[in-house]
Amino acid sequence: MGKTNRPKKILLIEDDPTQVFMYRSQFEMDGFVFLSAPNGEEGLALADKEIPDIILLDILMGKLGGMETLEILKKDSPTKIIPVFILTNFVKQEIEQQARQLGAEEYIIKSQIMPKEISKMIKKRFEKQ
Amino acid sequence: MGAVEKKINTRKNIGDSNYLNKNCWLIKNLNYAPYKRCQYCELKFNHCLFLHYQIVSLAVVFLFFIFFILIEKRLSPLSIITVFALIIVYGYFFNISTEKIVKANFFLKKTKNELNELMDNLEDKVDEQTKNLQEKNTHLQKLLKMRSEFLDIASHQLRTPTSVIKGTASMMIDKDFERLSHEVQSQHINNIWQKSVKLEEIINDILSASEMDTEKYELVAVNMEKIDIVDMIKKIIDEIHFDAEQKGIILELKPAVGKVLTVEGERKYLKQAIVNLINNAVKYTPEKNDLTKEKGRVIIEVSAIVGKVLIKISDNGIGIPKAELTKLFKKFSRGSNAKEAYTDGSGLGLFIVKEIIDGHGGQITVTSDEGRGSVFTISLPVSAPQVLAVSKPRTAQPSALRR
């Protein structure tokens, strides 16, 4: 049923162009609309403008890191309901707990979970709705 | 401890008396009547043999006196002489014994004082050692914290290229990959290549840095040689100029100024330091400066002053925020604007540069104007500082390190 609807919009906030390129390929292949922003600031602006269906958020970034971005996303009412998956290589329990407390639904370690699996996780998340 | 000291202090000093003539033994003795405490041992009459002896000897003198009076029924000259003689003898012996007791007492007090002093010293020592231990403990805790931070960041830096290599490879295994255009496919392969190179660089950086961390980098005599700095920089530029050309920026070595342009040092490491600095300059200099609209350029100048060689590497790139200049040479320090411009520097390059230059007895300084560029200056002594006689194994290979 969900598949017949309009394609879902993914926003990836990530500063490494190589990774953006990789995820773009995978998600576009899987039929998502893919948007990306190189840092928290631009990510927030894009999220406000486009209201994506899901946000994938990196943690270690230059202008405005992932945690701060997440906090603002969850405060701001139009972006409040958008599910956020943290997508990072920063493995630290405290950070993960903090992120979940702030409202992140998943904490994905990039080097452990492959793009295809992330794509499947996102599809599953939308089937729930 | 304090209470005992008080008690000692309130006691009378040896030989003190309430009477004016304190040298008179009789007055002294009368002063220490049985109901008082002994002058010397401070025991009560019942317990003090000295006081007993005093009273007994006085009683003996008195008995002799009575004895003579009873025999002669009058106060004969003989009895008086005898009593006086006895009193003199008594006084003599009394003085001798008193002297002994006083000496013994003095010795005891001295020993007591020494013991007290020793105890105080011991306490001081214990305090000092406790303090030392506490300091060591906090130092260790700091080191442990640094170590865990090191591991956190090092593992992040290692995972970043790994995730791209693994992720892209996993996509390639998937049949969907063939649906992608040829161009996109080759870009993916190129990404794997680039990230593999990056991964190796980061591994080398981490090895070098952790090696320099455990034992301070020191020169090794066997590896020392005279190095022509200008020649070395020319060779480095030959290796790097391709990167600069690709980025569309100018990389230039100005003609050297001065006579002595050789330094003593370890070629491998000095090269590593200079390569790092030039690489950084190239990396953080865009084709066109956003602020000044100048074409990007990296200029290297070499000059000699008395006993030193100066190497100046200046660029008109993104620069470094003022607040971050001081911590620039620390491990995992990257300018906040550097993170935006380039995502996967290890943050170890400048730390390694500083360790190498310090090891050569040189200095590195940096001035920078955010948005307008940075100037790194190395000064190296022409003759090397003290060196280690034996070679120690060094595991990490030098690499093109990045900040």
What does the H/E/C string look like for B23-81? CCHHHHHHHCCCCCCCCCCCCCHHHCHHHHHHHHHHHHHHHHHHHHHHHHCCCCHHHHH
Pairing of strands B308-315, B262-266: unpaired
**Within 10 Å of residue B210's Cβ, how many Cβ atoms?**
16
Cβ contact B243:B282 at 8 Å: yes
Taking an 8 Å cut-off on Cβ atoms, the answer to whether B184 and A39 are in contact is no
Token readout for B14 is 């040896």
Which residue ranges in chain B fall short of pLDDT 70? Answer: 1-45, 48, 51, 213-217, 331-347, 384-403
Tell me how close the Cα of B340 comes to any Cα of chain A, in angstroms: 5
* Sign of CA pseudo-dihedral B214, B216, B222, B224: positive
Pairing of strands B250-253, B297-305: parallel
Taking an 8 Å cut-off on Cβ atoms, the answer to whether A22 and B188 are in contact is yes
Pairing of strands B224-228, A9-13: unpaired
Put simply, whether A109 touches B (Cβ < 8 Å) is yes
pLDDT of residue B129: 93
Token readout for B342 is 């380039």
**What pTM does this model have?**
0.59
pLDDT of residue B396: 44
Contacts of B370 (CB under 8 A, 6+ apart): B318, B319, B320, B321, B322, B337
- Which chain A residues touch B197 with a CB distance below 8 Å? none
Taking an 8 Å cut-off on Cβ atoms, the answer to whether A15 and B339 are in contact is yes
Q: By a Cβ cutoff of 8 Å, what residues of chain B touch chain A?
A: 152, 155-156, 159-160, 162-164, 166-168, 170-171, 174, 176, 179-180, 184, 187-188, 191, 194-195, 336-340, 343-344
Taking an 8 Å cut-off on Cβ atoms, the answer to whether A60 and B156 are in contact is yes
Cβ contact B384:B264 at 8 Å: yes
Q: Report mean pLDDT in 10-residue bins for chain A, 129 residues.
A: 70 89 92 90 89 89 80 84 89 88 91 92 85
Give me the residue from A15, A19, A29 closest to B340, CB to CB. A15
